[in-house]
Each structure stands twice: as C-alpha cells, then as structure tokens.
Chain A
Amino acid sequence: SQQGEEDPQALSIQEGENATMNCSYKTSINNLQWYRQNSGRGLVHLILIRSNEREKHSGRLRVTLDTSKKSSSLLITASRAADTASYFCATANAGGTSYGKLTFGQGTILTVHP
C-alpha cells in the first residue's frame, strides 16, 4: 500500500446525487489537500484541511479528516456534469526529509451523468 490511497477508484453517479471519495494515508501529516484534474489538464486546488481540523466546508465541498484512522473523505453535494474529473488527495508530511512535499493518492475518477 502507498501513502494516499483512495477509494473508490472510479465513481459514476447521476446529476444531483452526492459523491463521496475516501483517502487513507500512513505517515504523520501537517495537512491534507484535495485537488481536481480534468482530463489531460493540470491540477486545481480544492481545499486544505490541517491536522488539527476535523471538518471543513467550501461551497458544495465538505472534507473530513480523522487523524486517528489516518483517513479523509471528500463529499461533493448536488453534483453536476461539470464535476466530472479525477480527484486526488495529497498529504503534506509533518517533517523530516519530506518537509513540505506533497504525496498524492491514486485518485478517484468521478463521472457525473446529466
């Protein structure tokens, strides 16, 4: 297993439904970030949650963090076809030689059908 594993690998839903993606990690983190990537494009930062936070909201996005379980979830409410993309979690390690670096999960491919 690698840092930042995500499930499901692929998620297909109808417009208006909610989409939930999960991410697990292994090391101590300073924060966990979620990014979105449209096909063949760069990444767009969605939200950052620090290790001392449990939940954060941004528009239709809700992120939770459980440091005891080393896991996070991203919930997109009332999904739209335009939300179709790959979603990655990335952990910023707490220190050591990986200071400040991001380790990305494998990603979840979300398809929202109109």
Chain B
Amino acid sequence: GAVVSQHPSWVICKSGTSVKIECRSLDFQATTMFWYRQFPKQSLMLMATSNEGSKATYEQGVEKDKFLINHASLTLSTLTVTSAHPEDSSFYICSARKIGTSSYNEQFFGPGTRLTVL
C-alpha cells in the first residue's frame, strides 16, 4: 500500500490564530511531499514542495511566512497557517512521492484537512 494520513481532518479556528496540519506517510518513506489547497468545486493548486531536510519551495504567490512548512523526517511534513484569516479557509491536501522513485511517478494523497477560519 501507500497510505498518507492527515491530521486533523477538520479544524475551526478564530481569526489571528495559527493552525498546524500534519501529513504522514504511514507505510513508506517520502523525500518529497507536496501541499495543495482546493476551494469548493475547484481544482487543486500546488502551494509548495516540501523536501526532507531542506527548505520548502513555494509556488509563485504563496507567502512562505504565512504558510510555514517543515519536513523533519522521511514520513512527516507539517504545514502551519500563521495568523489565519477567513480567506485562508479552504481544503488543504498533502501528497507524497515514494523515496527512490522517479520524480515523474504518481503521488499518493492524504484525505485532506478542512480549515475554517471564523
């Protein structure tokens, strides 16, 4: 298998607070994990690429100081939404690519985290 989990599955927070989302590969190691966000009835937009042991690479338009990514091990990446605002409310999905596989191989996705900022 290739199972990716996310925690929490949903979170409601007040404006101005920070929220941490975890992404874990449960039965494989992943040097690269990806973070996406998805608005209702829309497609996935890549936010950043997370590499174990190095700084994340952010897509154009994504504020790295607002969306902090840490990839401390081969099975865990975290996304922290700092000083969250209502416009940050979205569905955040992570994915992982198996270690040792081509960069062109498929990604394995987590179940997503629904963030609602009041």
Question: Which of A's residues lie within 8 Å of B, judged by CB?
Answer: 4, 30-31, 33, 35, 40-45, 48, 88, 92, 99-107, 109
For residue A103, give the distance in angstroms from its CB to the closest CB of chain B: 8
Roughly how many angstroms separate A41 CA and B91 CA in the complex, as a whole number? 9
Task: Determine if B43 and A107 form an interchain contact, defined as CB atoms under 8 angstroms apart.
Answer: yes
Of B66-74, B79-87, B101-109, the segment with at least 4 beta carbons within 8 Å of chain A is B101-109
Contact flag A100-B43 (CB < 8 Å), given A42-B93, A42-B109: no
Task: Determine if A44 and B43 form an interchain contact, defined as CB atoms under 8 angstroms apart.
Answer: no
Contact flag A100-B103 (CB < 8 Å), given A40-B91, A106-B42: yes
For residue A56, give the distance in angstroms from its CB to the closest CB of chain B: 13
Task: Determine if B46 and A101 form an interchain contact, defined as CB atoms under 8 angstroms apart.
Answer: yes
Q: Does B77 contact A (CB under 8 A)?
A: no
Contact of B43 among A30, A40, A88, A92 (CB under 8 A): A88
Task: Determine if B91 and A48 form an interchain contact, defined as CB atoms under 8 angstroms apart.
Answer: no
CB neighbours of B105 from chain A (8 A): 48
Task: Determine if A45 and B108 form an interchain contact, defined as CB atoms under 8 angstroms apart.
Answer: yes
Task: Determine if A41 and B106 form an interchain contact, defined as CB atoms under 8 angstroms apart.
Answer: no
Q: Does B8 contact A (CB under 8 A)?
A: no
Q: Does B44 contact A (CB under 8 A)?
A: yes
Closest chain B residue to A51 by CB distance? B104
CB neighbours of B45 from chain A (8 A): 104
Q: Does B64 contact A (CB under 8 A)?
A: no
Roughly how many angstroms separate A88 CA and B111 CA in the complex, as a whole number? 16
Roughly how many angstroms separate A59 CA and B45 CA in the complex, as a whole number? 29
- 20 A–B pairs (Cβ distance < 8 Å), ordered by A: A30-B104, A41-B111, A41-B112, A42-B6, A42-B109, A42-B112, A43-B93, A43-B109, A44-B109, A45-B106, A45-B107, A45-B108, A88-B43, A99-B103, A100-B104, A102-B34, A102-B46, A104-B44, A105-B43, A106-B43
Roughly how many angstroms separate A62 CA and B108 CA in the complex, as a whole number? 21
Contact flag A88-B104 (CB < 8 Å), given A41-B112, A42-B93, A43-B109: no
Extra contacts, 5 of them, besides A30-B104, A42-B109, A102-B46 (Cβ < 8 A), are: A42-B4, A42-B93, A101-B49, A104-B45, A105-B43
